[in-house]
Homo-oligomer: A and B are copies of this chain.
Amino acid sequence: MRRHPALLLVAAAIALLSCTASAAASLALKVDGQAVVAQLMQLAQWSDDPAPAVTRLIYTDNDMKARAYVQQLMREAGLQVREDTMGNIYGRLAGTDPEGAAVATGSHTDAIPGAGAYDGTVGVIGGIAALRALGEAGFKPARPIEVVMFTSEEPTRFGLSCSGSRAMAGLLDSACLDTLRDVNGSTYLQAASAAGYGAASTAQMVAGARRTPADLAAFLELHIEQGPELEKEGLQIGIVTAIAAPAALRVRFSGDGGHAGAQLMPLRNDASLAAAELALLVEKTALGTGVVDTVATVGSWHIQPNAVNSVPREAALEIDVRDIDGPRRDGVLAAIKAEAAAIAARRKVRLAVETINQDPPAACGAQVVAAVEAAVREVGASSKRMVSRAYHDSLFMAQIAPTGMVFIPCRNGWSHRPDEFAAPDDIQRGIEVLALALAQLAGDGSRGSGGGGGGSGSGARTEL
């Protein structure tokens, strides 16, 4: 079997890493975990729901307050701040190589209704803390290092996840984006423009956020696990090697409604009962693969007119299906669509099915994984390689740069709920691992090297 040329480059990059590991090891990093927790708690106060719940939809007043705070923290960390047309916010630690492609980290600060204080925010606040610690330790990176607050990883307001990172990766179709509306009927461009972002057109707004492999050498995201594995196994760090493939369907059943007292049972075509049957089928189909990696959820239900004395006329469901195996995930999607049609025929309701997204899974970059493993050894943390079942902005960054993720444990595996929690020690340890790995990937500029463990720009770009 012939070896693919790219694999040789990966091997070379890993070999290079083992030489530069000692550079990061010499850093006297000081990360103040308590200060980071205080900043996370401050951020959580900007919420549309009462504490401890955090609800923060993009471009709302609370989102704008959170954005101002993120920029303030970036400036206090000595970073150069800039924003793009989508509202992605960058803080940059300059590199000694003015031509070097950047090494980036970051995550999101938006929060679904009734969520908690750690999902996404640990990667933004922690990313800033990592760059601050590197700067304060006197580290001069060869490549610039950036921390990014991505716009709208969560799909709440417009139904589309990861709009900021999709735009960066060139994977956001502006014509499609233009068809989306929030509950007030606003377009994305209108909402972005009202928040002070946007451009003359949606296409210009999307293009304004574009990054390319030429200016991005690697991406590494710090995140809470959002699952129970690390806590159960007593491990401190998860080294992510792949990100599960998410997909979402929107299914709408429409019947004729009627009065709950007067419309006799045999004459009804109740849309909510079609939805109830499909929801149970979604669960059965996910369980039916026999593999724990398949998950499927009916998370969003909209029933109309939603009045106790009225037979439901409309039932709109949003269905989330994920798997680390793309074809198996697609098989579940196909089964759900087929059963929705069968239910609609049997219950004499009308059916509309729309695929909101159907993204491929992502494999992490080998040299990024290697940099994380070296950093884990350096701090003496216990760890394991694992898969991210949740999607992240990393899923899309992986399309334009070698990408990795650092997971820290979260209590009971809970997230997207008010009692989401990660321990201060785990947060601090995660930031230390992140900082050391970023330093390795960026290279030590004081040594006169043009780049670190990420290898040359072209090497990074051809990583599988």
Q: Taking beta carbons and an 8 Å cutoff, which residues of A are in contact with B?
A: 112-115, 119, 154-156, 159, 161, 225-228, 244, 246, 248, 256-267, 270, 272-273, 275-277, 279-280, 283, 286-287, 292, 294-313, 318-320, 322, 356, 389-391, 413-417
Contacts and interface: CB of A to CB of B under 8 A. Distances in A.
A424 to B, nearest CB: 22
B261 A226 contact: yes
Contact of A155 (B248, B272, B287, B308): B308
A112 B305 contact: yes
A287 B281 CA distance: 22
B309 A416 contact: yes
A244 B261 contact: yes
B265 A295 contact: yes
Copies of chain A in the complex = 2
Contacts of A227: 259, 262-264
B295 A156 contact: no
A261 B295 contact: yes
Contacts of A320: 260-261, 308-309
A326 to B, nearest CB: 14
Contact of A389 (B228, B261, B304): B261
A156 B260 CA distance: 14
Given A227-B264, A276-B280, A305-B114, A416 B297 contact: no
A152 to B, nearest CB: 12
Contacts of A115: 305, 310
Contact of A318 (B154, B258, B283, B308): B308
Contacts of A119: 259
5 contacts: A259-B389, A265-B294, A273-B279, A276-B277, A298-B312
A399 B265 CA distance: 29
A414 to B, nearest CB: 6
Nearest to A417: B257
A306 B297 contact: no
B246 A266 contact: no
A299 B312 contact: yes
Contacts of A156: 307
